[in-house]
Amino acid sequence: MEDVIRFNEAIDQALCESISFFSDQTTRSRNLLLGMLGHDMRSPLNAIVLTAEHLAELNAGEEVSEAALCLINSGAAMKGLLDDLVDFSRRKLGLGIVIEPAAMDLGELCANELRQHRAAHPGSRTELTLEGNLHGHWDALRLRQVLRNLLSNASAYGDPGEPVRVVVCGDENGVRLEVRNTGTPIEPAAVQDLFEPLRRAVPPEKRANGNGLGLGLYIVREITRAHGGEVEVQSGGTETAFSVRLPRVSGGPDAQTGK
């Protein structure tokens, strides 16, 4: 009877190990597929956007120009989703988010990104406030991605008639980037999972924009961590504010290893 018991225990252990191994392999294969899909879709998407930009430059009439602008804006939105998908897959595969810090002005970057945001969303209202020294060593493309995702999130959850406010402040320790929107506050129970992948604070039917993969805030957190910074959210009353804190020079283990 003891031999039978030990045999059953060995079978149970082997089954558990096999299930765990199969689950890990399935997850890795899925992430590889998502990463390949996101990467390979960039080329045809770039072709569509470049063609739309060419049509817009032809001045072939108002209808053609409007259609081209629609294609350009839709392509930009799709590229943002693909970028988030690729970064999510890289993180899950253990490759990490690579950053390439260089001297830059965060205030100038935010001003340029807001101009593009207003051009792509003519009906949106945004306000920018810059304070203090905003120079440092960061990855400009990655911080554009952070700001773009935070603006998209604020537009999706905020009241359509209210402006999105971007505040950038610098002090001796680093800089703080805040994106604030007016609207229904986030439930306290949802705040703790807000930066987890594929999570949503509210269902799509209650958002101004139901599109997205639920990866935007996760990517914001991972890019911020790669710079040695931190991100937090405060939501109460009628305002929600996402705050990204960055050291003057990027550091932390992720910044050094690319993970």
Amino acid at 218: Y
Task: Report the run of H or E that residue 104 belongs to, with start and end.
Answer: strand 102-105
pLDDT tens digits, residue range 120-159?
777 788 999 999 999 999 999 899 989 988 998 888 888 8
Instruction: Return the number of other C-beta atoms located less than 10 Å from residue 250's C-beta.
Output: 22
What are the b/e assignments for 202-227, b being 16+ CB within 10 Å?
Answer: eeeeebeeeebbebbbbbbbbbbbbb
Question: 218, 88 in Cβ contact below 8 A?
Answer: yes
In this prediction the pTM is 0.68
pLDDT in tens, 92-114: 666 677 888 999 999 999 999 99
Q: What torsion, rounded to 10 degrees, do the Cα atoms 45, 50, 51, 57 define?
A: 150
